[in-house]
């Protein structure tokens, strides 16, 4: 997702939150107003109070009424005795409902045996309230269209203004974002180009140093000085290759992906690393389910498995275990690649930070100075997995650390 898309999504989220909150509060206040008016009418047997309603402290959610303000509402009521024989109907404040219809509505409400609720009649919703007054039953009906219409108008106005704001912001963003973002994009591009160019330039003197060291060994034999020089040349060459690979990976966000045989590639990498791990005095096991396919780049998937196995071998405890596993997820929709190694002293290590570039944790990096890493491999692995649309995480349990990759499964074309 591009930078503009993130800004638009953020603004849309803000607008939806504001409009949704205003609409919810407006509808809540409208229903509170309906209930309050019904309560006032019910307490006065369906009539307006004879005197002005005394001013009382009002909560935020409760509307404030005066005797005059009550005349804006449309309502009617019926008062019956215990045998449901009509005694009186009050319809002075309604024109669309006849006394006969009021009697039918009252009987419908009484059959429900509920003290309050809503009833639909002639495309109008009436809120009602039933109250027992001694030997009488008073039923008050209130047309709530006025209050709900106001709430709907506020909602529509909020949606309209929110849409206009989003469109205006989009226009402004398109017109002015290029000039604002261009320096950042250019700086990032120059940085990547510098890494790539510097990597290529550094390889030449390293090749010369390596050749001179080998010549010196031919003339004078190998010694600690030449051996150390070759080791440092190898380390620096590997570091440069990491830099160049990471820069190239970031330079092509639209990586060419295809359906590849993950099982075959994983087996190939595992076979290449097996002897290296065994020569370091560690135990290696693998479990690879056959014919598992994912949508990825073949070269970078190979690189991903290599990074994880190299990392596991590098930080595995002496004479510890390295285990590689490729299998289907529980629902058989994902392919799970996990690489686990023994790491007894890893209880208090923040494994999530391992994916930060150049991150170094003393407890995790003291296995061997000779094989210490650069803090780039796992960051590169995370970038590769994201390019595949997958996820990678680290977990620690029972003295073992695992790096788990989840990628959506694909069906191979036969």
Give the start-to-end residue ranges of the domains of the chain.
3-143, 151-250, 255-410
pLDDT grade, residue 368 (50/70/90)?
very low
211-265: pLDDT as tens digits:
888 888 888 888 888 888 887 887 777 777 766 766 666 655 566 788 999 999 9
Instruction: Give the per-residue pLDDT at 247.
Output: 66
Instruction: Give the per-residue pLDDT at 4.
Output: 67
Residue 289 has pLDDT above 90, yes or no: yes
Average pLDDT, the chain: 79
**Which candidate, 200, 298, 309, places its Cα nearest to that of 245?**
200
- Which 3-state string (H, E, C) describes 55-109? CCCCCCCCCCCCCCHHHHCCEEEEEEECCCCEEEEECCCCCCCCHHHHHHHHHHH
Q: What proportion of the chain, given as a percentage, has pLDDT over 90?
A: 15
Which CATH number does the domain 255-410 belong to among 3.40.50.300, 3.30.70.2740, 2.160.10.10, 3.30.565.10? Answer: 3.30.565.10
* CB of 141 closer than 8 Å to CB of 125: no
**pTM for this model (two decimals):** 0.51
* CB of 382 closer than 8 Å to CB of 391: no
Q: What is the DSSP letter of 20?
A: H
Helix axis angle for 3-43 and 145-220, nearest 10°, is 150
Rounded mean pLDDT, 302-322: 90
Most confident of 17-26, 225-234, 276-285: 276-285
pLDDT grade, residue 28 (50/70/90)?
confident
Instruction: Give the per-residue pLDDT at 177.
Output: 65
DSSP letters spanning 304-338:
HHHHHHHHHHHHSPTT-EEEEEEEE-TTSSEEEEE
Instruction: Give the per-residue pLDDT at 310.
Output: 87
Residue 82 has pLDDT above 90, yes or no: no
* CB of 403 closer than 8 Å to CB of 378: yes
Residue 358 has pLDDT above 60, yes or no: no
Distance of alpha carbon 195 from alpha carbon 349, whole angstroms: 31
CATH class of 151-250: mainly alpha
* CB of 406 closer than 8 Å to CB of 336: yes
Q: Count Cβ atoms below 10 Å from residue 100 Cβ, excluding itself.
A: 9
Distance of alpha carbon 173 from alpha carbon 165, whole angstroms: 12
Instruction: Give the per-residue pLDDT at 237.
Output: 79
């Amino acid at each position: 997702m591009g930078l503009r898309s993130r800004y638009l999504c953020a603004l849309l989220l803000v607008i939806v939150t504001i409009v949704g909150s205003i609409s919810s509060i407006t509808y809540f206040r409208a229903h509170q107003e309906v209930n309050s008016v019904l309560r006032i009418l019910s307490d006065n047997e369906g009539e307006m109070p004879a005197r002005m309603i005394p001013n009382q402290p009002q909560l935020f959610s409760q509307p404030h009424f005066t005797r005059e303000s009550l005349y804006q509402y449309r309502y009617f009521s019926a008062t019956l005795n215990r045998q449901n024989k009509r005694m009186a109907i009050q319809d002075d404040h309604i024109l669309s409902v006849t006394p006969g219809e009021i009697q039918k509505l009252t009987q419908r409400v009484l059959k429900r045996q509920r003290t309050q609720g809503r009833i639909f009649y002639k495309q109008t919703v009436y809120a009602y309230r039933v109250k027992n007054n001694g030997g009488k039953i008073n039923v008050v009906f209130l047309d709530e269209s006025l209050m709900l219409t106001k709430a709907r108008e506020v909602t529509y106005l909020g949606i309209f203004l929110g849409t206009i704001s989003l469109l205006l912001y989009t226009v402004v963003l398109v017109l002015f974002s290029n000039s604002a973002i261009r320096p950042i994009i250019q700086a990032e591009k120059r940085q990547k180009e510098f890494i790539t160019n510097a990597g290529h330039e550094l390889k030449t003197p390293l090749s010369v140093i390596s050749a001179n060291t080998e010549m010196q060994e031919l003339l004078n034999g190998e010694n600690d000085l030449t051996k150390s020089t070759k080791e440092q040349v190898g380390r620096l060459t590997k570091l440069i290759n990491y830099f160049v690979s990471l820069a190239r990976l970031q330079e092509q966000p639209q990586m060419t992906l295809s359906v590849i045989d993950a099982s075959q590639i994983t087996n190939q990498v595992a076979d290449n690393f097996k002897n290296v791990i065994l020569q370091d005095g560690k135990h290696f096991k693998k479990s690879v389910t056959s014919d598992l396919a994912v949508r990825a780049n073949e070269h970078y998937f190979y690189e991903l498995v290599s990074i994880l196995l190299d990392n596991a071998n590098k930080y595995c405890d002496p004479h510890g275990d390295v285990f590689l596993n490729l299998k289907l997820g529980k629902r058989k929709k994902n392919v799970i690649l996990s690489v686990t190694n023994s790491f007894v002293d890893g209880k208090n290590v923040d494994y999530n930070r391992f994916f930060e570039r150049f991150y170094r944790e003393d407890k995790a990096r003291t296995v061997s100075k000779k094989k210490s890493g650069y803090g780039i491999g796992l960051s590169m692995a995370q970038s590769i997995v994201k390019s595949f649309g997958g996820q990678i995480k680290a977990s620690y349990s029972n003295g073992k650390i695992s790096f788990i990759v989840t990628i959506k499964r694909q069906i191979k074309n036969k």
